[in-house]
């Protein structure tokens, strides 16, 4: 305690150069808090399940021959039959575990169909995923109450006018229990056709960065069995070099009439594509944070280097009175941390204000939540403290090397 | 000048650690700032095949609205609209229409080999006048070939090597989506940083059924896959072309009125800078937001190192306080003192800035995919191919920016310490006291 008192008066005596440090620490603390808050909330979202299991899953893309193509068959007027033939050929392959056909439904895609779903006085905008039950099987979608994929498939198949809704449909803290609406009649948009709620699945997100609390999803029966996307799940034991093997097969055997398979993509690749823009933003924020931290490191190194030079005799006296190398280092470190604490107090006030007016990252419209705020402030403090530690190492080593006798002799 | 350098040398020898930290801090700031500058500059600076960027007017989208506000459709242009609005313009040197086939793969095979997916762009013949491609062999398709719907295509060196293990393939046949095409030319691989011209193969759009896939309201084929680039004869022609376009848009609008529709172009066509801001098809790019955002980032990138350097400069100046006292005692003016300190610091900043810029060049050259990573990269079959050539990096604009930021950083970091040092009381200074 006495040492700290001494330290405080020392900081006061050197307020001039300390002011620079405090101003810098203050600035960096505020900016770094903003970055930490962003990265923390984003990573939190990123690690939530998206509701789809995409391991060993592939997306098969098909096209139709151009009428100017010499192979074009003008008599082939029913491409949907060609499509169904392709699906049935796929079903014969022993290395494919499940096949799903869907439109605007698959994860990590950019196509989107929106709709309004109404029940009684409740009305919500939803993302409509039109799919067959194979789709549920391919992505191993699970029920909200822990129902297995097969149970879901059975529930979906036995209600032809039924649809599945995701558990976040009503939004948080709604008085009505979603489970109590199973079997009830809903309406899509202005349609007069009744649809019945068949089952509830866990939350479905389109990509790893999509905010929890975005538009909820609905899975509806696909009309006439033709969709934009063919998704397959390959047996885990067969999933090596599958893409190449499949491609050779597809080129030979998956051209029916004017319809042909034009590409196969693994969902892992699609995931990378869709995540990429967000990855870049996170990366840029991290680079910014690293830059700020490096500056703290350099600034502290420079300032403390000067100090140890000027305090040579002080340190010598300190050591002559029995201080160990450890206590010399601890003293310098405490000085740095005290400065950081002094800078952090006003920084927290600014952080609070920024979060209060909502200038930082919004999660479900919330920018200021106690837990998250404390975590972000703490991470910021620890990161800067680490830089102070590293910035201190060299000057402190120099101070530790001071030979009391020599330094005091010069004096 | 000599005197400044001597002094810097002396301080480097006396306080090597602090001077090195000082240089490192400055170099780091300039390094990061210049990378940010380059990230924006590659979007606007000219390089082949987009050497005429400053003479481009780009229409990448437009919207049609129903007059009763009951519907809107936004996106690329249909061939019909593109021709109505742009092909009739007299002032430009050339106008090109090309269709962007984003993320849809096109299959290419040769000699019945297993097909590969490549990026494809469907263009008209003027495309080759607007963009200056570097042909290794053969030549582009011309208007006659386009009109005759000749199935010919141009491919990139990389694709040619992949399919034929050679670039001398003009006249040979490939199958594009199972339709045979004759190769008429091979070009050097195009960096995806040239986003307008980039592709792996280019085909005349008259040979495919692309113009049949149109969307619009009331059966008017308004939106489609086309983008338009008009090439002006000179930069001064740009406003003239916009005026002329406005007339043709007004004429088109009066034609549309009978259908109960009007077009909203959100200020398109844009010059290359507005286009680089990347607005959605139904939005206007807002340079103000861009400047505020960039300004804020640059401010942070300058301010934090500046505070850092200020503190170190001040500590450094304390050592010279007696010298400052002597100079002042012999009649040196405060303003002279101030400019001397700032100039000395500027030379140091400039030296550090050069190091920063050099590292920025090296880093960018060897890690161009990392630096210029774009949100659309993985939509391309090539996963984005961001090569940059050195001529672009060494453009005068980049140097000017580097100089400007060095100057700003120097000013920010030395003005306060220099001001304080020059105002020190002479007697105190001679005694080595800072107050």
For chain A, which residues make up each domain, given as ranges? Answer: 2-47+274-410, 98-228
Strand-pair category, A216-221 with A122-131:
parallel
For residues B292 and B405, state if they share a domain: yes
A234 or B16: which leads in pLDDT:
A234
Q: Are residues B72 and B191 in the same domain?
A: yes
Q: Tell me phi and psi for residue B399, to 5 degrees.
A: -60, -45
B315 and B372 in a single domain? The answer is yes
Summarize pLDDT for A98-150 with one digit per residue, the tens: 999 998 899 998 778 888 898 888 888 899 999 999 999 999 999 988 899 99
Name the most confidently modeled range: B153-157, B333-337, B401-405: B153-157
Residues B263/B75, Cβ–Cβ less than 8 Å? no
Q: Helices H, strands E: what count in chain B?
A: 15, 14
pLDDT at site B217: 47
Residue B301 has pLDDT above 80, yes or no: yes
For chain A, report the end-to-end CA distance as a whole number of angstroms: 29
User: Is the CB of A306 less than 8 angstroms away from the CB of B315?
Assistant: yes
pLDDT of residue A2: 52
Same domain, yes or no: B206 and B327: no
Q: What's the CA gap between B37 and A215, in Å, rounded?
A: 37
Q: Inter-axis angle of helices A15-46 and B287-319, to 10 degrees?
A: 140
Considering the domain boundaries, does residue B282 fall inside one? no
Residue A248 reports pLDDT greater than 90:
no
Query: CA-based angle A140:A143:A146, to the nearest 5?
Result: 105
CA distances from residue A371 to A318, A368, A375, B260 in whole angstroms, order as listed:
43, 9, 6, 55
- B435 is a domain residue: no
Q: What confidence tier does A194 reach under pLDDT thresholds 50, 70, 90?
A: confident
User: What pLDDT does residue B382 have?
Assistant: 66
Preceding peptide of A204 cis, ω within 30°: no
Domain that holds residue B155: 61-269
Total domains, chain B: 2
pLDDT in tens, A57-94: 999 988 888 777 788 888 888 888 999 999 999 999 99
Most confident among A355-369, B160-174, B211-225 (mean pLDDT): B160-174
| pLDDT of amino acid B218 | 52
Q: Which residue has the higher pLDDT, B376 or A367?
A: A367
Which helix (H) or strand (E) segment is B343 a member of? helix B334-366
Percentage above 70 pLDDT, chain B: 91
In a domain, B277, yes or no: no
Q: How confident is the model at residue B254 (pLDDT cuts 50, 70, 90)?
A: confident
Name which of B17, B177, B314 is nearest A17 (Cβ-Cβ): B314
Angstroms from A265 CA to nearest CA on chain B: 11
For residue A110, give how far its alpha carbon lies from the nearest alpha carbon of chain B (Å).
Answer: 11
Is the per-residue pLDDT at B153 higher than 90?
Answer: yes
Half-sphere exposure of A16 (CA within 13 A, CB side): 12
What residues have CB less than 8 Å from A45, skipping those under 6 apart? A208, A209, A210, A211, A212, A363
pLDDT at B43 over 60: yes
Instruction: Give me the residue label for tokens 């830089």.
Output: A387
**pLDDT computed for residue B338 by the predictor:** 87
My answer on whether B128 and B246 are in the same domain is: yes
Look at residues B240, B269, B298 and tell me which one is the last residue of a structural domain. B269
Question: Same domain for B17 and B135?
Answer: no
CB contact under 8 A, B373 and A276: yes
Contact in structure between B198 and B119 (CB atoms under 8 Å): yes
**Which contacts of A401-406 are long-range, i.e. CB under 8 A and separated by 24 or more positions?**
A402/A312, A402/A315, A402/A316, A402/A319, A403/A316, A404/A316, A404/A317, A404/A319, A404/A320, A405/A320, A406/A316
Residue A23: closest C-alpha in chain B? B307
pLDDT at position B215 over 80: no
Q: Is B62 helix (H, G, I), strand (E, B) or coil?
A: strand
Range of lowest pLDDT (A327-341, B210-224, B364-378): B210-224
Which of B215, B237, B269 lies at the terminal end of a domain, its last residue? Answer: B269
Taking contacts as CB-CB distances below 8 angstroms, the residues of chain B near A255 are 178
List the single range of A272-286, A396-410, B212-226 with lowest mean pLDDT. B212-226
**Residue B54 resides in a domain:** no
**Do B91 and B117 fall within a single domain?**
yes
Residue B276 domain-assigned (yes or no): no
Q: What pLDDT, on a 0 to 100 scale, did the predictor assign at position B40? A: 87
Cβ(B205)–Cβ(B387) under 8 Å? Answer: no
List CB contacts (< 8 A) between B17 and chain A.
Answer: 301-302, 305, 394
Confidence of residue A3 (pLDDT cuts 50, 70, 90): low
Question: Once rounded to an integer, what is the mean pLDDT over residues B112-120?
Answer: 86
Q: Same domain for B13 and B67?
A: no
DSSP category for residue B172: -
Contacts of A301 in chain B (CB under 8 A): 17, 21
Q: How far is CA A300 from CA A333, A371, B307, in A?
A: 11, 31, 12
What are the tens digits of pLDDT across the range B158-182? Answer: 999 999 999 999 999 999 888 899 9
Closest alpha carbon to A257 in A377, A80, A385, A136: A80
B242, B297: one domain: no
Q: How far apart are the first and last CA of chain B?
A: 29
**Pairing, β A194-201 against β A162-166:** parallel
Tell me the chain A residues in contact with residue B24 when contact means C-beta distances shorter than 8 Å.
298
Mean pLDDT of A381-410: 84
* Residue numbers in A near B305 (CB within 8 A): 295
* pLDDT tens per residue across span A256-302: 988 988 888 899 988 988 888 899 899 999 999 999 999 989 988 88
Q: Is the pLDDT of residue B228 over 90?
A: yes
Query: Bigger pLDDT: B35 or B263?
Result: B35
Interchain contact, A295 vs B25, CB within 8 Å: yes
Statement to judge: residues B153 and B115 lie in one domain: yes
Alpha-carbon distance of B413 to B143, in angstroms, equals 60
E strands present in B251-352:
261-264
Nearest CA distance, B190 vs chain A (angstrom): 21
Chain A contact for B369 (CB, 8 A cutoff): no
Tokens standing for residue A230: 């063919």
The reported pLDDT for the residue numbered B170 is 94
Residue B52 within any structural domain of the chain: no
Residue A155 backbone class (left: φ over 0; alpha: ψ -120 to 50; beta: rest) = alpha
Q: Which of B241, B269, B297 is the last residue of a domain?
A: B269
CB contact under 8 A, B377 and A276: yes
Q: Is residue B232 one of the residues assigned to a domain?
A: yes
What pLDDT score was predicted for residue A26?
94
- Please check whether residue A90 is in contact with residue A96, taking contact to mean a CB–CB distance below 8 angstroms: yes
């Amino acid at each position: 305690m006495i040492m700290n008192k001494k330290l405080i008066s020392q900081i006061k005596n050197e307020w001039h150069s300390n002011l620079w440090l405090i101003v810098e620490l203050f600035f960096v603390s505020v900016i770094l808090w903003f970055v930490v808050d962003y990265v923390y909330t984003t990573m939190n979202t990123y690690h939530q399940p998206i509701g789809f299991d995409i391991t060993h899953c592939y997306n098969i893309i098909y096209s139709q021959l151009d009428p100017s193509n010499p192979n074009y068959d003008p008599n082939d007027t029913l491409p949907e039959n060609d499509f169904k033939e392709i699906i049935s050929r796929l079903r014969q392959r022993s290395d494919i575990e499940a096949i799903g056909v869907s439109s605007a439904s698959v994860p990590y895609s950019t196509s989107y169909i929106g709709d309004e779903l109404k029940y009684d006085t409740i009305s919500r905008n939803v993302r409509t995923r039109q799919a067959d039950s194979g789709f549920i099987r391919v992505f191993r979608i699970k029920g909200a109450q822990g129902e297995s994929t097969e149970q879901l498939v059975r529930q979906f198949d036995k209600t032809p006018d039924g649809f599945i809704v995701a558990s976040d449909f009503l939004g948080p803290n709604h008085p009505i229990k979603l489970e109590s609406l199973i079997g009830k009649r809903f309406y899509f948009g202005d349609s007069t056709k009744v649809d019945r709620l068949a089952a509830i699945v866990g939350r479905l997100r389109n990509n790893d960065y999509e905010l929890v609390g975005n538009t909820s999803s609905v899975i509806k029966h696909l009309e006439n069995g033709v969709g934009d996307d063919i998704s397959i799940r390959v047996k885990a034991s067969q999933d090596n070099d599958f893409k190449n093997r499949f491609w050779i097969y597809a080129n030979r055997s998956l051209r029916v009439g004017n319809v042909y398979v034009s590409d196969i993509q693994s969902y892992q690749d699609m995931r990378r594509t869709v995540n990429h823009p967000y990855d870049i933003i996170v990366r840029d924020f991290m680079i910014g944070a690293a830059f700020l931290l490096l500056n703290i490191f350099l600034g502290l190194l420079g300032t403390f280097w000067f100090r140890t030079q000027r305090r040579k005799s002080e340190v010598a006296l300190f050591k002559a009175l029995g201080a160990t190398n450890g206590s010399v280092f601890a003293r310098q470190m405490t000085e740095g941390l005290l400065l950081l604490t002094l800078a952090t107090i006003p920084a927290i006030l600014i952080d609070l204000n920024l979060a209060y007016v909502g200038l930082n990252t919004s999660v479900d419209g919330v920018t200021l939540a106690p837990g998250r705020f404390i975590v972000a402030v703490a991470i910021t403090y620890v990161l800067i403290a680490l830089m102070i530690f590293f910035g201190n190492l060299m000057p402190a080593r120099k101070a530790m090397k001071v030979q009391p006798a020599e330094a005091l002799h010069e004096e | 000048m000599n005197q400044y350098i001597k002094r810097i040398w002396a301080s480097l020898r006396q306080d090597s650690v602090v001077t090195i930290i000082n240089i490192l801090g400055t170099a780091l700031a300039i390094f990061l700032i210049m990378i940010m500058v380059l990230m924006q500059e590659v979007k606007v600076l000219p390089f082949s095949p987009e050497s005429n960027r400053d003479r481009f007017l780009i229409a990448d989208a437009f919207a049609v609205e129903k007059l009763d506000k009951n519907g809107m459709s936004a996106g690329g242009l249909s061939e019909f609209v593109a021709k109505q609005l742009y092909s009739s313009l007299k002032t430009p040197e050339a106008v090109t229409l090309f269709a962007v086939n984003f993320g849809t793969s096109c299959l290419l095979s040769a000699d019945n080999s297993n097909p590969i997916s490549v990026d494809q762009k469907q263009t008209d013949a003027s495309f080759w006048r607007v963009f200056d491609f570097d042909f290794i062999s053969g030549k582009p398709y011309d208007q006659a070939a386009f009109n005759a719907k000749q199935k010919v295509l141009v491919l990139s060196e990389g694709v040619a090597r992949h399919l034929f293990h050679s670039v001398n393939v003009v006249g040979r046949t490939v199958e594009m989506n199972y339709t045979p095409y004759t190769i008429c030319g091979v070009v050097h691989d195009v960096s995806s940083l040239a986003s307008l011209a980039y592709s792996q193969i280019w085909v005349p759009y008259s040979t495919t059924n692309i113009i049949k896939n149109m969307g619009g309201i009331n059966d008017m084929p308004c939106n489609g896959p086309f983008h338009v680039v008009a090439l002006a004869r000179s930069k001064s022609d740009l406003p003239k072309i916009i005026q002329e376009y406005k007339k043709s848009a007004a004429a088109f609008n009066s034609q549309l009125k009978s259908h109960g529709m009007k077009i909203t172009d959100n200020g398109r066509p844009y010059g290359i800078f507005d286009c680089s801001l990347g607005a959605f098809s139904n939005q206007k790019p807002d340079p103000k937001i861009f400047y505020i955002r960039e300004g804020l980032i640059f401010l942070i990138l300058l301010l934090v190192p500046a505070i850092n350097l200020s503190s170190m400069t001040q500590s450094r100046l304390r050592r010279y306080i007696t010298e400052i006292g002597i100079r002042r005692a012999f009649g040196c003016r405060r303003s002279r003192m101030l400019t001397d300190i700032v100039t000395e610091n500027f030379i140091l900043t400039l030296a550090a800035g050069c190091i920063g810029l050099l590292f920025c060049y090296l880093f960018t050259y060897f890690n161009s995919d990392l630096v210029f990573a774009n949100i659309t990269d993985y939509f391309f079959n090539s996963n984005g191919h961001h090569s940059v050539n050195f001529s672009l990096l060494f453009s005068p604009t980049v140097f000017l920016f580097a100089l400007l930021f060095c100057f700003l950083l120097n000013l920010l970091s030395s003005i306060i310490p220099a001001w304080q040092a020059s105002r020190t009381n002479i007697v105190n200074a001679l005694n080595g006291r800072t107050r």
